[in-house]
Structure 1
Amino acid sequence: MVGVDVLNTGVSFFSDRKLYQGFISSKIKDNIHGIIEAGFESNIYQKNNYDVKANGPFLKLGVFYMLAKDPENEFNGFYAGGKAAGSFYTQEYMAVPVRGYGGSSSSVSFPSSTQSSYWLEGTIGGRVQLFESNFFIDVNLQPRYLLFTTKQDDIQPMIVPGFGKSSSKFNMGFAWNLAYKF
């Protein structure tokens, strides 16, 4: 099965976040399916006097288990699983707030640099066949936990492509895919 995240692609036309991703999944055995997701994200973070931009590709590898499936079509149903993910991206800090002497504040900038981040991601979702075709709608939630990230001058990344915009180790993703089963 091959799919494209049509929700995030569509939203990209109306927001600063440009997220394009797709997946390939295949049944391994019984109710177990393997999945590979890949994509590209470009985003900006302008909050609390920070001005940051990041962009780059990401890759996710994992498996999911069909928890409940339609007896007439084994690809219809609900599933849960997990993935290991990573991103190799470029980031640039145009402004990072710095507290000065006597409570004054200013900002400093840092040149563009290449970074990498790695995380674990759960997946909980469902898929349903569109009419009598080979097309499916696949919707899922993706709770994420950031395991490791490189840092530029000890600054925690504000944006990690594929992980999202966050200054914490936890984040949540969502995908609404249109998929085709060969």
Structure 2
Amino acid sequence: MEALRILGDEHQSLAAILHAVRFMLKEVVAGRLQPDLKLFEAMIHYLDAYPEKRHHPKEDVLFARIKARSSEGAAALAALDAQHQAAGERIGRLEAALAAYVADPSRLADFAAAFDAYAEFYRTHMMLEEREAIPLALRVLTPEDWAEVNRVFTGERDPMSGTRGKPEDFADVFSKLVAAAPTPIGLGAGPYRG
């Protein structure tokens, strides 16, 4: 099923960005890396613009199809729905922590803690989707359901395969993030140039 392949690819892309930011923040806190504020801003923009605003709505279609077919997994699906609904609040806290750090470099630890909380949330969120929602979808969805879910998922490509012709090219953004991120997580090509 194409939708599940895309969902898995998008989860891997998100996990890579989360890992990259966590790694960089640990290195900055330890004094081994100079902060690249534009790179941090670009990464947080990516997290807001892609996973929060484009990835979750596709998952919502999958979850709605599951709920239409079965009451099984209702608690997990309700938790996932609530987590999706809280996206603006979640990204707002992260943006506020970054803005406070940009305004006052002594707030680095606060930004690092806010990002750790965000990354940990996403780790458990994706695990819940992969452990509960996906197996349930495989059990209860019909071929017609999968046709609709696949149509929705293939309509907006994941950041690794590109979104040419869309308002924002996430493949380009992702490539720039990887190029600017320091080794061993990126290419270390220098400061982020958006």
Taking CA–CA contacts closer than 8 Å with sequence separation of 6 or more, which of the two structures ends up with the larger relative contact order? 2
Instruction: Tell me the TM-score normalised to structure 1 length.
Output: 0.23
Higher normalized helix content (fraction of residues): 2
Greater Rg over alpha carbons, structure: 1
Higher normalized strand content (fraction of residues): 1
